[in-house]
């Protein structure tokens, strides 16, 4: 297991000024000046919170951030020598924003207590100054880094709006699932706690599987791929959320194009289907029975792989003269890694090739569906 590196994590600090101040914390820590490290760490944490509030107020016109800043400024002006505003600051941040959860808030309270002991001539029974040990100081530094300093200045609603605008603008460059995953992880998810990720997932579910306005139509694909990324990383928590809000997640569109996305997603996340209300399940069942995409992706509604393969064969051999896309064949292959499915998959490919209606089509289907799987 790789040891947690304070130096490497410090490179992810959001603000340049905070990063510069934090170097003094590291210098004191590495030189064994643990009291100085704790005192400076508290100052860095307070400054970073103020910078985040200013960013939210100035760049995002956040009224909550502005009201907190105004209140703290008034406290400072009324009693310039008092430091009581510092504790007031983190309390307000915890109660009125999504920047700090309960655990992160308690860690900062503990840091403030250690800072108080380290900054003042607090003597023990042997008339010695309080001196925090190395392990305690390292823990304080790590918790402050992870819980505060590396986070961007976002509240829950602000991050959702920011992310949606960003991926919409970047959709042309994010032209594969792998690129979407890397981009969303690097820019957002790696800096956000799980609860915020789940809030984004909830919003995306409605945008992808329910709404049908112009923006939703235009951005459905990139929104869907982002939803996949968050869902894959929080699978068990997603199931808990859906189970607790069945009515919300069951409120899906009846539009066939939207149901194409939903059925495909359920084919990769089959446990979600059982959590939906019956009205949503009926829509999904109808789509699987009556559309090509539904038949291809709806294996999770069938009694067996053999029964599912028979549906695909009827599609291939039917009068509609169905043509597979490359990604659909890849999807079929990945449904199961059992020997039974390999046999059934090969039968589907053979039938698809033999259903060719011209020499040119036979050549094309051989290159697409036979040669790659030999």
Neighbours of 73 (CB within 10 A): 11
Q: Report pLDDT digits (tens) over 229-264.
A: 999 999 999 999 999 999 999 999 999 999 999 999
pLDDT band at 157 (very low <50, low <70, confident <90, very high): low
Q: Report pLDDT digits (tens) over 167-177.
A: 999 999 999 99
State the first-to-last Cα distance of the chain, in angstroms, to the nearest integer: 41
Q: What is the pLDDT of residue 1?
A: 43
Q: What is the pLDDT of residue 4?
A: 73
Q: If you average pLDDT over every residue of the chain, what do you get?
A: 91
Burial of 147 (0-12, 13-18, 19+ CB in 10 A): buried
Axis-axis angle for helices 305-317, 339-354 (nearest 10)? 10
- Examine the pLDDT at 158 and tell me if it is beyond 80: no
CATH code assigned to 6-149: 1.20.120.330
CA angle 71, 74, 78 (to 5 degrees): 145
> The whole model's pTM is what?
0.72
Q: Which of 356, 359, 358 is nearest to 369 (CA)?
A: 356
CA 111 and chain centroid, separation: 29
- Specify whether the CB–CB gap between 152 and 166 falls below 8 A: no
Highest averaged pLDDT of the listed ranges 47-61, 118-132, 181-195, 345-359: 345-359
Taken in order 353, 356, 359, 363, the sign of the CA dihedral is negative
Q: Which of 270, 202, 203, 282 is nearest to 241 (CA)?
A: 202
* Helix (H/G/I), strand (E/B), else coil: 129: strand
- Examine the pLDDT at 114 and tell me if it is beyond 80: yes
HSE at residue 74, side-chain half, CA atoms within 13 A, is: 7
- Examine the pLDDT at 370 and tell me if it is beyond 90: yes
Q: Which residue has the higher pLDDT, 337 or 129?
A: 337
Q: Which residue has the higher pLDDT, 358 or 4?
A: 358
Q: Report pLDDT digits (tens) over 292-340.
A: 999 999 999 999 999 999 999 999 998 888 999 999 999 999 999 999 9
Q: Where are the domains of the chain?
A: 6-149, 156-373
Q: Report pLDDT digits (tens) over 81-103.
A: 888 899 999 999 888 887 888 88
Q: Considering only 109-118, 145-154, 249-258, 273-282, which range has the smallest mean pLDDT?
A: 145-154
């Amino acid at each position: 297991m790789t040891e947690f590196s304070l130096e490497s994590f410090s490179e992810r600090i959001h603000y340049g000024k905070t990063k510069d101040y934090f170097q003094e914390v590291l210098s004191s820590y590495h030189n064994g000046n643990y009291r100085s490290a704790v005192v400076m760490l508290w100052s860095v944490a307070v400054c970073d919170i103020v910078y985040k509030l200013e960013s939210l107020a100035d760049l995002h016109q956040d009224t909550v951030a502005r009201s907190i800043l105004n209140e703290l400024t008034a406290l400072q002006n009324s009693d310039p020598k008092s430091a009581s505003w510092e504790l007031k600051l983190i309390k307000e941040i915890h109660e009125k924003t999504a920047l700090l959860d309960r655990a992160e808030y308690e860690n900062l309270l503990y840091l403030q207590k250690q800072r108080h002991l380290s900054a003042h001539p607090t003597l023990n029974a042997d008339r010695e100054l309080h001196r925090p040990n190395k392990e305690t100081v390292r823990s304080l530094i790590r918790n402050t880094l992870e819980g505060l300093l590396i986070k961007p200045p976002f509240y829950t609603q602000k991050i959702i709006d920011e992310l949606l605008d960003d991926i919409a603008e970047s959709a042309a460059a994010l032209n594969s699932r792998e690129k979407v995953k890397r981009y969303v992880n690097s820019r957002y998810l790696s800096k956000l706690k799980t609860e915020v990720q789940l809030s984004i997932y909830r919003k995306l579910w409605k945008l992808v599987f329910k709404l049908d306005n112009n923006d939703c139509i235009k951005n459905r694909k990139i929104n869907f791929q982002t939803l996949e990324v968050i869902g894959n990383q929080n699978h068990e928590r997603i199931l808990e959320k859906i189970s607790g809000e069945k009515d919300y997640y069951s409120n899906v569109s009846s539009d066939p194009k939207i149901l194409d996305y939903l059925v495909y997603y359920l084919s990769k996340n089959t446990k979600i289907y059982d959590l939906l209300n019956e009205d949503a399940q009926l829509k999904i069942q109808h789509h699987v029975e009556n559309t090509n995409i539904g038949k291809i992706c709806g294996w999770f509604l069938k009694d067996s792989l053999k029964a599912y393969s028979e549906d695909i064969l009827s599609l291939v051999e039917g009068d509609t003269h169905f043509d597979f896309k490359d990604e659909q064949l890849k999807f079929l292959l990945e449904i199961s890694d059992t020997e039974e499915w390999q046999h059934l998959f090969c039968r589907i490919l053979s039938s698809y090739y033999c259903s060719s209606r011209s020499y040119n089509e036979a050549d094309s289907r051989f290159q697409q569906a036979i040669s790659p799987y030999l």
